[in-house]
């Protein structure tokens, strides 16, 4: 995070987000989580892409910049 200076660090699942927080000393961007697409998660099995997009938008991630076309 120090070298790249991203505006957002997004963990895919709670474990990844917790690891990001462990390395976030001095980070002034947004650290957030999106649902992990685990087959064991009933919520993730019902439209993970739409759920993840909603979660990213709620965190303020500018998705229009990520889309191609």
Residues spanned by the domain of 19: 8-63
Is 27 a member of any domain?
yes
Is 53 a member of any domain?
yes
Least trusted range by pLDDT, from 20-24, 41-45, 54-58: 41-45
Is 3 a member of any domain?
no
In this prediction, residue 65 has a pLDDT band, given cuts at 50, 70 and 90, of: low
Is 14 a member of any domain?
yes
Q: State how many domains the chain has.
A: 1
Residue 11's contacts (CB-CB under 8 Å, 6 or more residues apart) are 17, 18, 19, 20, 31, 32, 33, 34
Whether residue 58 has pLDDT greater than 60: yes
Is 2 a member of any domain?
no
> What pLDDT does residue 66 have?
57
pLDDT in tens, 34-48: 999 988 888 777 888
Is 1 a member of any domain?
no
């Amino acid at each position: 995070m120090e070298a790249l200076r991203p505006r957002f660090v997004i963990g895919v699942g709670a474990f990844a987000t917790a690891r990001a927080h462990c390395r976030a000393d001095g980070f002034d961007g947004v650290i957030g989580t999106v649902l992990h697409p685990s087959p064991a998660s009933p919520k993730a099995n019902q439209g993970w892409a739409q759920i993840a997009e909603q979660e990213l938008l709620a965190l303020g991630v500018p998705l229009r910049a990520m889309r191609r076309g």
